[in-house]
Amino acid sequence: MSASVCVVDDDPSTLRYMRTLLQMESCSVQTASSGGEVLDMVQGGFSPDLVMLDVMMQEMDGLATLENLRRISPAIKVVMLSCVQDTAKVVQAMRLGADDFLRKPLDGAALQELLQRYSSARAALQNDLDSFEELPGDMFFVAASPEMRKIRFRLGQVAHVDVPVLLLGESGVGKEVAAALIHKYSTRSDRTFLKVNCAAIPADLLESELLGYEAGAFTGATHAKPGKFELCNGGTILLDEIGEMPPALQAKLLQVLQEQRFFRLGGRSPISVDVRILAATNIDVEDAIKKGKLRLDLYYRLSAFSIELPPLRQRKEDIPVLLKHFVRRMAPRYGTPERGLGAEVLNACLAHGWPGNVRELQNFVKRYLVLGETGVPVGARHPQRHFPRVPVRPEDGWDLKKILKTLKNETEAQIIAKCLQETNWNRREAAALLNLSYKALIYKIHEYGLQQRYPALADSRDRQFSGPATAAG
């Protein structure tokens, strides 16, 4: 690529070395021996495509220089250089707006990779190609809205920094897609990307799933089995619904984060792994910490970078793009033509609040393609708003407490049944919409006998059309 690059370092030999490397890549090179010098140059009108800035400098260190650069010229791309990989400095640099953080000395291959990455990003920006991006696992990332463009930029920033990332947001906003995007642009992209749903695995089995076990560790353990961390060694693991992980297991996860080693169940020797941990949750983190559901020390370790994905109702520019690509992808699976969406349906989709976010939108497209249903419950933020009042039955007598309890239970049962119906009996999705834990929902299904009271609902799970999982951001 042909780019204008400014290298800032107080070591003359480093400046000569970097100049030679960059000129070999056909770059136009300027150098500065201090933070103050490069700031004066930029204030005087110098506007390089890229600034390569050393962290450790005598007069003004790289972080202070970066902070001032961002105030003077926010658009300049800045890559920080350091001899040591200090996580605290990496985090601080990225929060101040650094685009990347690389180890010194930089060799030719690393520089070529950096310039290629920068060149690709610049081309994507110029051609507006970043509104839709394919990802492995039949996923795609959509960034047609300003909010998601900012998220996309932030995800690209943290991808190159090998530290944990905590992804926040409502159920169905695309946290798994965001994690896949981080992995795609990380240095681990050629290794395993593995997702573990902490809420889908019973608490007493989750530890053995993550850490593995030795033969004889418990009844039925006839042979040793590696856990997810071992299977993902060298790659990236996404711990989805981290807020549902038992506190005792959170302490062991903290050890993996801090030491990159752990013991299998029944094991006597530690196992070392090199895994990047991403975590996702839709819970209120502050409330979970207060209630003891989420350990504060684990939160601090996971949230070196926290990125919150906005709900679909706050980024409606993404809706037409998502609709188009869901129709294009799912029509061949169900053997239906790619039906166009009329203006009336599109306007209804734009007006709807989508409490289930992208997942709800995807289910709408499925019904539209398979059954021809175009009805969108516009304005329905919560299922319970559609329910009529439950009448008081005279046979219950006039015991107020008994009447209220009956009304509460009957109304709750109807709400849960309606929500299960709207999610095609997807208990995980229904629990998220009802703001219940998965276990609580299962308990209430059994408590109210919903499978017996609404057999058509339960059967609909088997009748639904399902294809390979597709997520969107």
Question: 413: closest CA among 374, 375, 453, 378?
Answer: 453
448 in Cβ contact with 415 (< 8 Å) = no
316 and 306 in one domain? no
CB atoms within 10 A of CB 130: 18
231 in Cβ contact with 192 (< 8 Å) = yes
Tokens of 328: 């294009």
Question: What's the half-sphere exposure (Cβ side, CA atoms, 13 Å) at 355?
Answer: 19
Tell me how far apart the alpha carbons of residues 377 and 268 are, in angstroms, rounded to a whole number: 57
Tell me how far apart the alpha carbons of residues 277 and 259 are, in angstroms, rounded to a whole number: 13
377 and 326 in one domain? yes
The domain boundary residue, chosen from 127, 142, 175? 127
CB neighbours of 311 closer than 8 A, spacing ≥ 6? 169, 170, 173, 354, 357
Residue type, 414: Q
Tracing tokens 């650094």 back to the chain, one arrives at 98
374 and 400 in one domain? no
Question: 301: closest CA among 260, 340, 264, 267?
Answer: 260
282 and 160 in one domain? yes
29 and 102 in one domain? yes
The CATH number assigned to the domain holding 146 equals 3.40.50.300
18 and 121 in one domain? yes
Question: 68: closest CA among 49, 83, 51?
Answer: 51
Tracing tokens 């000569």 back to the chain, one arrives at 16
79 in Cβ contact with 53 (< 8 Å) = yes
The domain boundary residue, chosen from 281, 310, 339? 310
29 in Cβ contact with 23 (< 8 Å) = yes
pTM over 0.85: no
The CATH number assigned to the domain holding 318 equals 1.10.8.60
Question: 434: closest CA among 167, 196, 171?
Answer: 171
Tell me how far apart the alpha carbons of residues 444 and 270 are, in angstroms, rounded to a whole number: 41
455 and 401 in one domain? yes
180 and 38 in one domain? no
Concatenated DSSP letters of 231-275: HTTTSEEEEETGGGS-HHHHHHHHHHHHHSEE--BT-SS-EE---
Number of domains in the chain: 4
198 and 79 in one domain? no
336 and 392 in one domain? no
pLDDT tens digit at each of 473 positions of the chain: 467 899 999 999 989 988 888 888 888 899 999 999 999 999 888 888 889 999 999 889 999 999 999 888 877 889 989 887 777 788 888 878 888 888 888 777 778 877 877 665 555 444 434 578 888 888 989 988 888 988 998 898 888 888 899 999 999 999 999 999 999 999 899 999 999 999 888 888 999 999 999 998 888 888 999 999 999 999 999 999 999 999 889 999 998 998 999 999 999 999 999 999 999 999 999 999 999 999 999 999 998 889 999 999 999 989 988 988 888 888 888 777 766 677 777 878 888 889 889 999 998 888 888 777 656 644 333 333 333 444 445 455 556 666 667 777 788 888 888 888 777 788 888 888 888 888 888 888 888 888 776 655 555 444 443 333 334 44
In which order are the strands placed within the sheet that holds 236-240?
193-197, 236-240, 276-281, 165-168, 305-308
Tracing tokens 């071992």 back to the chain, one arrives at 230
Residue 288: give the domain boundaries.
Answer: 132-310
137 and 258 in one domain? yes
The domain boundary residue, chosen from 310, 345, 362? 310
Tracing tokens 């799970």 back to the chain, one arrives at 461
428 and 402 in one domain? yes
